[in-house]
Chain A
Amino acid sequence: MKMLEITQGQADSVFESLSQKYRIIAPVEKPGEGRFSNTSLLTYDQAKSFKEIDFFKKTYFSPKEVLFPVRESLFEFKKSDIHELQEEIQPSIVFLRACDINAVGITDAHFLNNEKFKDVYYGRRRNLVKLFLIECKESFESCFCVSMGTNKSEDYSGFMRKVDNGYEIKVKDEELIPYFSQGKQKDVEPVFVEKDTSPLIIPKEIDVSLFKDDIWKEYSKRCSACGRCNTSCPTCTCFTIGDVLSEDSSDSGQRRRIWSSCQVKNFGLLAGNHDFRIPKGDRMRYKVLHKIRDFRKRTGFNMCVGCGRCDDVCPDYISMFKCIEKINQITDKKETNE
């Protein structure tokens, strides 16, 4: 382990040498790409310098694309033969907040650690990714990581803090220590958020009677089924698979997987047109209870990390936070009655 303080100049040369091997992916500002004209978008992308990285604001989109791309080719087919694709993947360093590091732990559990089958495509990328922790000074609006227990993480290769004249750094990963040869030795420890703006209690047990509760009806009316909550979520991992033919051929192409959303129509549609969860409120229930109950039943920990992105992005102002609060009130009332 190495702990040190470096100047902006020293940081520039560290960046230079790291980028020989690694893509450095972090929150960066994209001018002109915001939702409204003349606004910028803060999003995950390859950074060109440490200076470019925004250490202080929360991104709109989650960093999960690094491990689980929106579209990914699984294999190629020509006539009736299939060939595995050997895609070159460059190693990367990703700058993440504690909640997002915890989110990687969750997607690891889903794709690799917790089940009988392991996903080779996720595993291949995961092996080539190192995680760098960045701090949150305080809970952002809409965040509830402390309530979800995802405000802390020790699972990082390095930690980096932006200070006035440079950076404070803690490197745990032996492979990365040689890159940090310059600088002043200094004790550096990350500080984690200890209090949510609005704390939330996560119900331990959720009775099946909640499925028929009226709280879901509101979402049937309000949700427009755009699926933004799923795409912005760092732990949503559902995908669909489809074959894409080459432009000039009717018998060669690629099989690809593409993110899919449990909030969008046809997620459960069977051949023969039998469908499940047609009311959007049922889809909301399916998603929310997966995040705070069903995943935990399989793995021992919740799937929601409390990053609040789904609340930030919803065009219909639907809030996961508020929904969990409502579930809690109903569950509480039941327990008191009993």
Chain B
Amino acid sequence: MNNIYLSKKTEVIGIRKHTPTEWSLSLSIQTETVPGQFVMVSLPGVGEVPISVSGYTADSIELTIRNVGEVTSHLCKINPGDHLYIRGPYGNGFPLEEFAGRHLLLIVGGSAMAPVKPLIEYCLNNNNFQLEGMDIIAGFKSPRHILFRDEINHWKKKYNVRITVDRDEDYAWMGSIGFVVDYIKEVQDISEDTRAIIIGPPLMMTNSVRELLRHGVKEENTYLSFERHMKCGTGKCGHCRIRDKYVCLDGPVFNYNEVKELID
């Protein structure tokens, strides 16, 4: 029997700082990742946490870490050449076959940009994966909290990208201000066929779903990705269970119809 709790030693090959508390680590590891999946990241002696894969190539993955907990605060002291332990990727990832040929609408809050980024890159880089177009509405706390600025500029060449901030402390922001939910009405191409993906804080997800349904997006075409406390990533430790679903096994991406009656 394969030991599901053992991880692979991997080398940190690059670090990118986005904000003082958020940065991306590139790790040298070969995986078969689907956009939307996560890995369990360990620092022996400190602990293990689930982190979304925010990018991948055939022989590397990128993880975007926010310094909010015990393990992540140690992860932010890592240097290139250091080692981390990885197991996974886990979870279902996005149902790409459902998205092919459709209009996609992504609604993203803050660091939830991390699991969405590989999906956008997948759509950009796979010539045989055609879409009817994509709208991205991403919200951040303030201009200083914006992640993946370079990538966003690149995405803008092909897709409609709206970046909005909750507040602009520096009065130097030329873009949109307000919550993501306020900008849903401005998306031109919403139709019954639109596939909507919403990822972010719980309240933002609830409000966005309500607004999307009001604008004609169908329940069965709406997808959410959940974040929960996890210790194993493999359906054993019980912490991420919501009713009869394990976020680590059955999610983190769920169709809205699957989860509208899930109460934590």
* Chain B CB within 8 A of A251 CB: yes
The answer to whether A271 touches B72 (Cβ under 8 A) is yes
The answer to whether A82 touches B244 (Cβ under 8 A) is no
B49 — which chain A residues lie within 8 A by C-beta? 271
* Chain A CB within 8 A of B185 CB: no
Closest to B82 in A: A80
Stretch at the interface among B4-12, B27-35, B168-176: B4-12
The answer to whether B2 touches A255 (Cβ under 8 A) is no
Chain B's nearest CB lies how many Å from the CB of A124? 8
The answer to whether B229 touches A289 (Cβ under 8 A) is no
The answer to whether A82 touches B44 (Cβ under 8 A) is yes
The answer to whether A120 touches B3 (Cβ under 8 A) is yes
Closest to A298 in B: B244
Known contacts A117-B236, A238-B237, A80 near B9 by CB under 8 Å = yes
A117 — which chain B residues lie within 8 A by C-beta? 4, 234-236, 249
* Chain A CB within 8 A of B97 CB: no
The answer, among A74, A243, A276, for a CB contact under 8 Å with B46, is A243
Known contacts A208-B263, A276-B264, A240 near B239 by CB under 8 Å = yes
The answer to whether A123 touches B1 (Cβ under 8 A) is yes
Question: CA–CA, A238 to B230, complex, Å?
Answer: 11
Stretch at the interface among A26-34, A167-175, A260-268, A325-333: A260-268
Question: CA–CA, A268 to B263, complex, Å?
Answer: 13
The answer, among B68, B69, B236, for a CB contact under 8 Å with A111, is B236
A250 — which chain B residues lie within 8 A by C-beta? 45
The answer to whether A255 touches B238 (Cβ under 8 A) is no
B225-264 vs A: 1/0 string, CB under 8 Å? 0011101101111110101100001000000000001011
The answer to whether A271 touches B69 (Cβ under 8 A) is yes
* Chain B CB within 8 A of A119 CB: yes
B239 — which chain A residues lie within 8 A by C-beta? 238, 240, 260, 267-268
**Which residues 154-170 in A have Cβ within 8 Å of B in the complex?**
none
* Chain A CB within 8 A of B48 CB: yes
Known contacts A118-B4, A270-B229, A294 near B241 by CB under 8 Å = yes
Closest to A78 in B: B44
A53-97 vs B: 1/0 string, CB under 8 Å? 000000000000000000000110100111010000000000000
* Chain A CB within 8 A of B47 CB: yes
Chain A residues with CB under 8 Å of chain B are: 74-75, 77, 80-82, 84, 110-111, 115-121, 123, 208, 211, 237-243, 245, 250-253, 255, 257, 260, 262, 267-272, 274, 276-277, 282, 286, 289-290, 293-295, 297-298
